[in-house]
Amino acid sequence: MTRKEALETAIKEATSQCKLARGLGVSQSQVWYWLWHSKKGVPAQHAPKIEELTGGKVKRHDLRPDVFAADTTA
């Protein structure tokens, strides 16, 4: 899963960019920017909250593999 796909999944789980933004305490336009223009995607500080808001369907590693290691426990 790419960073963009992970964010798209998070938006779908939240049902909209607005609802995801509200859960993160940011503006909808900020979520839109991360999706379409940000080279790194979601800022690392928001990745854990997105994982929480999606019930673990989107992992922090999927959003920011450059910051968070993959969970290797099975």
Question: Which CATH number covers residue 38?
Answer: 1.10.260.40
Say what the pLDDT of residue 70 is: 83
Say what the pLDDT of residue 73 is: 63
Domain assignment of residue 72, yes or no: no
Range of the domain at 51: 3-63
Say what the pLDDT of residue 64 is: 95
DSSP element (H, E) containing 64:
none
**CA–CA separation, 55 vs 40, rounded Å?**
23
pLDDT digits (tens, 9 = 90+) for 28-65: 999 999 999 999 999 999 999 999 999 999 999 999 99
Domain assignment of residue 74, yes or no: no
Domain assignment of residue 71, yes or no: no
- If DSSP codes are grouped into helix, strand and coil, which group holds residue 68? coil
Domain assignment of residue 69, yes or no: no
Q: Can you give the pTM of this predicted structure? A: 0.90
How many structural domains compose the chain? 1
Say what the pLDDT of residue 4 is: 95
